[in-house]
A and B are shown apart, each in its own frame.
Chain A
């Protein structure tokens, strides 16, 4: 099967999963006790007004009609109206998305930059202090709840040492890009430093688990790989050790690591929710928690759909990258 057919097949499967996500999300609201109208209305409201609101929300229709309208709206970008602000859910979700993406990307970048060299050092210098250090770090990293790590980082670096701010995101990455494109490099630079200054602690908080996980995977994968005969054969033909390790071994190590990291993207988004809660970071996670507290079902549903769809799309991309890197993949 060719790569393009493989991608087509993956995309169709992805569409199916997104449909499943939408259905589950619709189902959640249906089985939820309580009447959404109650969120909007004071407890002792005139029953007639109440009926009118229920009609407006479409809650008087049979369930299958509601479901059909819900599903049909999604391709057009219609995720309904927020119960609390009466504004389109899609706009609210989109407005919060960049902050979460920034955080997730920053955490992933931090994780990859630290974890891969750490894993390589750990695997190539076994039983060295560096190896023990990396092993202890990765065990701690996968065992530490990130919200607690966040609180500790705030106490140490923000409260005690006053090196970083405790919370918030005064400037988004889009601002930096806009200013740079407008050739206002001075203010773009200022914005960039402010941005970096604010995102450092949240990115470390979110990235630590991943750093630890990737370190672990890189180390064990590289040790496996170094024991294979082709490594010995590469040395036998006179290749310098650097070439053996990095051109041959590291690349083969990273192929499976990429798949696992792809599978863990869900964990990353889940981690982002709670990291945002710790740092008052105004992203999708904060939106989910707030709409949960306000019982704003449409917003909660919309956020879940966006998160689920995002996961599906990223996974297809990861699969494609994997197929591109690994000539042995059979596409099925």
Chain B
């Protein structure tokens, strides 16, 4: 499927391009963060501490004016039968305990970004996988059988493309609600998390026991994005079906599914791979948009946290800013990897999608 020549091209492009290397580093980093979240997050993403709310990230100090009860010699000052208040300047200093600061409920932003990576990666990868499964199956069959199957696919694709992906996603979420599945986190369930956190000296605080799988969102993003896969694989199937070796295989009596699986699919794999990389990025953006609108049902997600931070936008910019930076980094990383694959494999397609 991937020939030695392809691998050589990949290596050659990689050695030329600093950007491709940077992209791979970022993507690997984000994926690792998602997988090992319970082992590396300083706190549980839900752990609140109202005393330490809205601490800025390291390197920043914020000043805000608060109305507090006036005290003298430890007792509340009362004048004319009323408690006297005064304006006091409060400095919020960054602390090492929360290097990226805390949100409005005093939750650690670093931990939330780490756990947010899980939601993004789960939806991005599973959504793309599902979209590819649907799209490639439909696209290969349409391109291979041509005729009515093909017409029906192309017309369906035209109709699907008439809906902006975000709007279609909103409508589908409206139809199906926000079902989520919970599967036990293997690190926590086996007790490894507790042992490991004790070993490296992270706070023991119980980490979430479940991984939340936003089922509806995954299905929805796949249904919105499968068309791109269908188009690319249909084009590949159309060109491959006329090749001599495919005709030969058919003449020798290979059945259709065998021809599709053994001959057509391997040829289409390169452009599909490039498309998939770009699609993971597009789906991560789509998921974050749904979460931002509060429609995904996720409680720990980069997009959702950006929306939460809006309440504090006049005082605490970082609550919205930091999860957004995580999104931008991830998407840039994926786009760079996509560019690298495209340059090295040159399947001649354009990456599509986005919010």
Contacts and interface: CB of A to CB of B under 8 A. Distances in A.
Interface of A: 13, 16-18, 20-21, 24-25, 28, 31-33, 139-140, 142-149, 151-152, 154-155, 159, 209, 213, 260, 263-264, 266-271, 273-274, 277, 288-289, 292, 295, 300, 303-304, 307-308, 311-312
Interface in B243-292: 281, 285, 288-289, 292
Contact of B355 (A28, A271, A289): A271
Interface residues of B, number: 48
Contacts of B162: 17-18, 20-21, 266, 308, 311-312
18 contacts: A16-B155, A17-B162, A33-B175, A33-B177, A143-B281, A145-B324, A148-B288, A148-B327, A155-B313, A264-B352, A266-B162, A270-B166, A271-B355, A273-B170, A274-B289, A288-B167, A289-B170, A304-B163
B65 to A, nearest CB: 15
The 9 residue pairs across chains A and B that have the minimum distance between CB atoms:
A270-B164, A20-B159, A148-B324, A270-B166, A143-B331, A266-B164, A308-B162, A143-B332, A32-B175
A308 B314 CA distance: 37
Q: Which of A28, A145, A267, A271 has the most chain B CB atoms closer than 10 A to its own CB?
A: A145
B306 interface: yes
Given A147-B289, A277-B293, A270 B317 contact: no
A144 B174 contact: no
Given A151-B309, A267-B165, A311-B164, A292 B170 contact: yes
A304 B175 CA distance: 14
Given A147-B306, A155-B317, A159-B313, A21 B177 contact: no
Nearest to A24: B159
Contacts of B86: none
Interface of B: 155-156, 158-159, 161-168, 170-172, 174-177, 281, 285, 288-289, 292-293, 295, 303, 306, 309-310, 313-314, 317, 320-321, 323-324, 327-328, 331-332, 335-336, 350, 352-355
A148 B355 CA distance: 12
Given A20-B159, A267-B355, A144 B328 contact: yes
Nearest to B353: A267
